[in-house]
Amino acid sequence: MKKYRNTIEFEVEGPYALFSDPVMRVGGEKTSYHIPTYEALKGIVESIYWKPTIMWIIDAVRIMKPIQTETKGIRPIAYNGGNELAYYTYLKDVKYQVRAHFVPNLNQINLVDDRNDNKHHNIAKRMVQRGGRRDVFLGTRECQAFVEPCVFGEGESYYDMMDGEVGYGYMYHGITYAEEAVLEEDKDKMTVRFWKPVMKKGGIIEFIRPEECTQKRVIRKMEAKIFENGKNFTGLEEFTSEEVGE
């Protein structure tokens, strides 16, 4: 597994997680996948450190604890008003190691001056040490989690001694938004991606990149949000103290 120069590695842990396909979240019951989705892990990394100048690529996840589920009766607000009983099946007592790196977002043509790999990498590593800039969730807001730095592959995983591999079939990978589109065919669209993950010995799942997903479906046309400092993005000033290491 390749490790990039601007890689970050961290461990994320929480009492519950709910990883599901958002296309199917139209109400009623929800059931978590047994493993984290690429999109959920990308959301965690962006809670640690996000800027429109860069795009995070999730390289791999390592499942540290045994996969267990728990079903709870929930009364969410119904679309037609009021409350209705629904059953949510969560993963419980979860812990993952994550490896990720970033690439420049070439669609953000107004932030060319902010394309400084060394600066962003240093800030991201500091944010991992701090546990993230924003609250971290495992798939959904009610599943709060905590982040701390680690060395990917170190420590004991429940799946270190597993035989063979485990395939998870056709599974949701993530959503490509217009402002993060790499392929020409994904420009000006919102596209949902799918893939077939495999867990290898050690509980390791290596992700393919978004542009490598061949199974996808266009949800709708979408205009890319182009950020411009001082107009619709004040983030350059927001990160000033972090860029100088305060």
Q: Given this model, what pLDDT does residue 227 score?
A: 84
Distance between CA atoms of 124 and 31, rounded to whole angstroms? 32
Evaluate whether 99 touches 59 at the Cβ level (below 8 Å): yes
> β-strands 69-74, 86-104: how paired?
antiparallel
Q: How would DSSP label each residue in 27-40?
A: SS-EE--SS--HHH
Evaluate whether 17 touches 138 at the Cβ level (below 8 Å): yes
Evaluate whether 75 touches 83 at the Cβ level (below 8 Å): yes
Q: Given this model, what pLDDT does residue 26 score?
A: 57
Evaluate whether 105 touches 177 at the Cβ level (below 8 Å): no
Q: What are the tens digits of pLDDT across the range 67-116?
A: 999 998 877 666 666 667 788 899 999 999 999 999 999 999 988 988 99
Evaluate whether 7 touches 101 at the Cβ level (below 8 Å): yes
Classify residue 166 as left (phi > 0), alpha (psi -120 to 50) or beta. Answer: beta
Q: Given this model, what pLDDT does residue 128 score?
A: 97
In the 3-class helix/strand/coil scheme, how is 116-184 assigned residue by residue?
CHHHHHHHHHHHHHHCCCCCEECCCCCCEEEEEECCCCCCCCCCCCCCCCEECCCEEEEEECHHHCCCH
More confident residue, 165 or 244: 165
In order of 49, 97, 160, the CA distances from 134 in angstroms are 8, 19, 32
Q: Given this model, what pLDDT does residue 29 score?
A: 77
pLDDT of residue 240 exceeding 70: no
- When the pLDDT of each residue in the chain is averaged and rounded to a whole number, the result is 90
pLDDT of residue 180 exceeding 80: yes
Of the candidates 7, 19, 196, the residue with the CA atom closest to the CA atom of residue 117:
7
Q: C-alpha angle 51/54/59, rounded to 5°? A: 115
- What is the average per-residue pLDDT within 40-65? 97
